[in-house]
Structure 1
Amino acid sequence: MADTVTLVKKLPVLKKRSPTMHKGEAGRLFCLAGSVGMVGAAALASRAALRCGAGLVRVGMPWRLAAVVAGRDPNVMTSALPETEDGTISAMSPAKILKQAEGSDVMLIGPGLSQNPQTVQAVINLLPQVKQKLVIDADGLNAIAHDECAVLKDIDRTKTLPVLTPHPGEMLRLLGKEYDGASLKDGDEHRRQVAVSFAKKHRVVLVLKGYHTIVTDGLRAYINETGNPGMAKAGMGDVLSGAISAFICQGFDAFEAACLGAHVHGLAGDLVCARMGEIGMIATDVMEELPEAARRLQSEKA
């Protein structure tokens, strides 16, 4: 790794809460997620955020799906948004999204949104207007890639850097045609170099998921060592993006929150694996183990 990049090995401290703490101090998250056929992504991300300590979570999604999520999880609030004929968020949504997100500390954009052209346009139009701290995952990343990353330069960085959470396939799309095409699975050193370069160029915190997930802001890098092959299942990324969003809600900066999220997410997966093995574990198992993973991290730092 380049000499200018500091390899971080120590995680931030998860402090015990004050007895007088209220939900506003734990942070408010607006989660823009879900479409017909991918309601689960919204449910996983929003509940994971609550399991990692966010004080309040509101999910913005196509209007026909809002009641589904509300009925599925009474812990989250919902906002019904204008939708396309396909049941995805429409290009007319940004104004309502911004209004519904007022008072939120963090906005998570992407889980299960779809790549419908109207939805892609909605994300591209929305991003420069968001004043909340940002986490961008899944189809939020695909929308950015469709725009050849041009919209990244217009994102508000007043409060903190935006967090991007691609898996290797999404990362290749973000890198675009100029990338040499080498696999992002071929060794940690190459992946680190690619991640650091991208984060530095675009002024983001990048979470490049995979075996030994890499977190970097272009100046620092953290290599996560928790997690296991049983986590190679649909929905795990939604759980991770919710976890990272929750830690930002609680006051950690983007890089710290991404490191914590990656570690706690992987540790939760390891706890599940120890109980039931790798084969049958699913994203909801990991999501429900997040509080215990966070508790163990607190105990280690006590």
Structure 2
Amino acid sequence: MTSAHGTPYGAGKAPYVLPSRAARRERARSAPYFFLLPATVLFVLFFALPIGYAVWLSFRKVKVSGLGLGAGARREVWAGLENYTAAFTDDELLNGALRVLGYGCIVVPVMLGLALLFALMLDSEKVRLSPFTRLAIFLPYAIPGVVAALLWGFLYLPDVSPFYFVLDALGLPQPDLLDGGPLYLALSNIAVWGGTGFNMIVIYTALRAVPGEVYEAAKLDGATPLQIALRIKIPMVAPSLVLTFFFSIIATLQVFSEPMTLKPLTNSVSTTWSPLMKVYRDAFRTGDVHGASAQAVIIALATLLLSFGFLRVANRRTEGEATR
């Protein structure tokens, strides 16, 4: 067959040669790496490199010569473990860690307890409007933490809060939630309000994955709904409880937005109320970037050790129960 110009089709073109089986196999092996390449580049640029730079800064310090004026009067030198020694002996950092510990003792049990309770209630056969209820419980999690802290902060202020107006009309005492001990309850309430929905969804999803035959067998044996919840549902979702507890520990140790947002509303929240607030102050207020980097590394290592230590204990306990 020829074209309109009288030349055969395909003339002048190299014949198509199928790649060999070895070449196709090599392409198939390398294809996953090409798909992983964008995520790997983003991970290195925006996660690994900043962490590595922070670790590098934590071993450096600024040496000032003379009055610190002129070129070369301030230069960065190697500090070794000097910044880490100063961080471990810093009373403000230690006091902030103790405050966060007290804050976590309130937030974690209350938040996970409510999440488990809501998940069990939504998994009940007698619940009505389950999709709307799930959305209503989950919705606070979708609100940014700063917005939630501002919202609750103004609800805590006696001059603008409708709650204080109602209490005053009823002649009831009006506690100051932004001063002293109640401040822990005020901050914990913001975290519980915002985090319960996410943990509830995780636990509820695990409950929905339990086969219905398990519940039917329990009902035939005469188990009540409360017995089914305590003896079947809760043990079945134990891995999800461990996961939510793991996330809650990390979020508690890294608390920052709630106290930072409430700070302009009260004098009870200092600039070093939490460890991350102290890191922020030292890095961006006082200009001690190297000391702040060392503190950030210590906080990250403490979070890592506590989280994975808890996971290891939980896994050992799960393995021990499985071998019985």
TM-score, normalising length: structure 1 = 0.25
Relative CO higher for 1 or 2, CA cutoff 8 Å, sep ≥ 6? 2
Give the greater-gyration-radius structure (CA): 2
TM-score, normalising length: structure 2 = 0.24
